[in-house]
C-alpha cells in the first residue's frame, strides 16, 4: 500500500546532526578555599559534577581544619564542561543583589561562618567569608546558593536561610573534621 511504500522511501533521508552551543548555564564545580589568617597551607573543599543531571556521581573532596583558627575563605564556581573552563563566579558577582550564599554547619561541628563581602544594597553575597573554628569536632558544612532571595527578610542578612526564599542554584554538603 502507498503509505507503507512512502515510509521506506522517506526513511532513506537522514536527519542532520544537532548543534549544541556552549552549555552556558551549567556550574559543574564549586571550590571553597580556606586560608588560615595566621599563615599556613590553604584547605580546599571541592564539589565537582561534570555530567550535570546525568547518572555519574559527583566527586566531593572533604577537608580537615585546625581547631581554634580563623580562616579567610573564598568560593569559586566553574563550568568545566567548557574548554577552557569558565569562571561563573564573575556572573554571580555581576548580579550580586540577586544572589546570596548561605553556610550552615551541623550542631556537632564547632565552626561558624560570617560574611566578608557586600552587594550594592549593603547586603552580603557570601563569595568571600571568614570561618572561625572551635574545638576538635566533626560534622557537615552545607553551602547553598539562592537566586533572587529576599535579602531584607528577617535573619537573611545574618546568614539564616529560613525566610530567604528564592531558588536554589547550588546546594553542596561537605563533611568537615576539625583537629
Strand 63-65 relative to strand 167-178, pairing:
parallel
Query: Can residue 28 be called a binding residue for another protein (CB under 8 A)?
Result: yes
Q: 71 in helix, strand or coil? A: strand
> Which of 38, 39, 54, 120 is close enough to bind another protein by CB under 8 A?
54
- Distance from CA of residue 67 to its chain's centroid? 25
Residue 175: which of 131, 143, 128 has the closest Cα?
143
Q: How many residues does the chain have?
A: 179
With CB under 8 A as the contact rule, the residue among 33, 35, 50, 74 that binds another protein is: 50
Q: Is 84 in the site for another protein (CB under 8 A)?
A: no
| Contact status: 172 vs another protein (CB under 8 A) | yes
Nearer to another protein, 110 or 174 (CB): 174
Nearest to 172 by CA among 33, 49, 26: 49
- Choose one: 63-71, 92-100, 109-117, 123-131; the region binding another protein (CB under 8 A): 92-100
Give the residues across from 71 on adjacent strands. Answer: 36, 131
If the CB atoms of residues 121 and 150 are measured against another protein, the closer one turns out to be 150
Q: Which three cell numbers stand for residue 79?
A: 563550568
Out of 34, 49, 126, 133, the only residue in the binding site for another protein (CB under 8 A) is 49
Rule CB under 8 A: is residue 18 a binding residue for another protein? yes
Using the rule CB under 8 A, is 30 a contact of another protein? yes
For 97: left if phi > 0, alpha if psi spans -120 to 50, otherwise beta; the answer is alpha
- Taking the C-alpha atoms of residue 47 and residue 142, their distance in angstroms, rounded to an integer, is 11
Residue 75 interacting with another protein (CB under 8 A): no
Select the residue interacting with another protein from 32, 43, 45, 47 (CB under 8 A). 47
DSSP one-letter code for 18: P
Residues forming the site for another protein (CB under 8 A)? 1-4, 6-7, 10-11, 13-25, 27-30, 47, 49-58, 81, 91-92, 94-95, 144, 147-148, 150, 165-172
Amino acid at each position: 500500500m502507498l503509505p507503507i511504500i512512502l515510509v521506506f522511501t522517506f526513511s532513506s533521508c537522514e536527519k542532520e546532526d544537532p548543534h549544541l552551543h556552549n552549555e552556558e548555564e551549567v556550574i559543574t564545580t564549586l571550590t571553597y578555599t580556606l586560608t588560615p589568617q595566621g599563615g599556613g597551607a590553604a584547605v580546599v573543599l571541592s564539589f565537582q559534577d561534570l555530567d550535570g543531571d546525568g547518572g555519574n556521581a559527583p566527586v566531593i573532596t572533604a577537608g580537615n581544619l585546625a581547631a581554634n583558627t580563623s580562616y579567610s575563605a573564598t568560593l569559586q564556581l566553574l563550568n568545566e564542561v567548557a574548554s577552557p573552563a569558565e569562571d561563573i563566579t564573575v556572573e554571580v558577582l555581576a548580579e550580586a543583589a540577586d544572589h546570596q550564599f548561605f553556610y550552615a554547619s551541623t550542631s556537632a561541628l564547632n565552626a561558624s561562618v560570617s560574611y566578608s563581602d557586600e552587594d550594592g544594597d549593603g547586603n552580603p553575597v557570601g563569595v568571600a567569608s571568614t570561618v572561625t573554628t572551635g574545638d576538635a569536632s566533626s560534622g557537615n558544612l552545607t553551602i547553598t546558593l539562592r537566586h533572587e532571595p529576599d535579602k531584607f527578610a528577617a535573619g537573611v542578612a545574618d546568614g539564616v536561610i529560613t525566610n530567604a526564599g528564592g531558588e536554589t542554584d547550588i546546594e553542596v554538603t561537605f563533611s568537615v573534621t576539625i583537629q
